[in-house]
Structure 1
Amino acid sequence: MNKLLLGPPLANKLHSFIGLSFLKLTGWEAVGNVPDTPKFVMLMAPHTSNWDFFIVLAILYVLGIKFYWFGKKEIFRWPIRNLSKWLGGIPVDRSLKQNMVQQIVEIIKSREQIIVGISPEGTRSNAKYWKTGFYYIACQAQIPIVFAFLDYGRKVGGLGPVMTPTGDIEADMKKIRRFYSGITAKHPENFGSIVVKPRLNNEDQSQ
């Protein structure tokens, strides 16, 4: 079983202890196994509360993996620059000719191991459509998508099924929708429909 460790054994044990302690205090349980693959996109849903990030972090500490997330370079400034990077943040430059999907794909291809965490809702409020960047990143980088989840109804979270994108986004979204339809968000009224916005033929894949 492949694990993307958080660091040296001692550091990994410390993170695991922190994660377990947090979950015990809050009554959560971590479930799932780390896929036996060095790279994957981790679909993170539902996302309706600020608490989601901390619970996910604790769960991944317990599972022994570290994920990375991408944000525009402007947020990686003092005084939160070092904290953002320590928490797995990687800056991307929106002013470049490459769109964000292309930049992220290049970073993924340059790494031997990386887990990319993406929240497709893009907001804690009710989103009419899911952003599709996660899908095109996985397709172009030729890596699988793992369904990560937080079920507030059962207070269980972790890693679910692994899906290899086929290139048929509508068909693959049906699989995603089928899985997440049974998951309860902290604020269910803000967990919108799991659909993507119809695209024009000449529209880019940067969102």
Structure 2
Amino acid sequence: MLNMFTISFKKSSSKQYEEFLSFASAFESYTQVGNGKDTRHQVEFYDSQVDSFFALYDKVGHWKSTEIFINGELMTVGKSLFFHCYRRRFSVESGEEYCFGRDDPNRYSENYFGCQWVNILSGYFADLYGYGEFNAAGAFIVDKEKMVQYLLSEYRYNLCPAFNMNKMIERVHLLPDEIDPDINDEWVHCTNFSSTGREVLSVRRIEL
């Protein structure tokens, strides 16, 4: 699916307003909406034009009247946390590898779901603590439903064009239903040491 990025802005008191308006109006998709003081200048971009989108964003993105839409949905402050991460994705050549953290020599950037903001099987949260429990036989029973509900709650990042909820949920179901590190050599016990001794909390995947 093609993603659409839209920048919309009104007249600004900036000394560079006319210059930046000229820059915006040079794009083929440029349109004016409304009249007089309510006139909004709007430019639409697609995936292949992301560099141009960010070029215009750098000029008018900080103006009070500026609005950013991704696939038609307004990017509010609460939903903008992903924005600079997504921009960095386009500044490197690794693309999807960047989202998985595989292009970073720091292993704590790696994550299982392909989003550096998802805190399950990711970096310092590389275990399944809180998403299952051990049975009497010592196997960790994965609570996949809880994991899916967590992913669905990540509304802050689902505006990100690289955030693929369907693929993430597919990866949930690729995980074993039961994990016994004594048998599953891809997993190890995640433990905590305290004054009372060693406590096994959950399981951790060795390679994400």
Whether TM-score is above 0.5 comes out as no
Larger proportion of helix: 1
Q: Which structure's CA Rg is the greater one?
A: 2
Larger proportion of strand: 2
Normalising to structure 2: TM-score of the pair? 0.27
Normalising to structure 1: TM-score of the pair? 0.27
Greater RCO (CA < 8 Å, at least 6 residues apart): 1
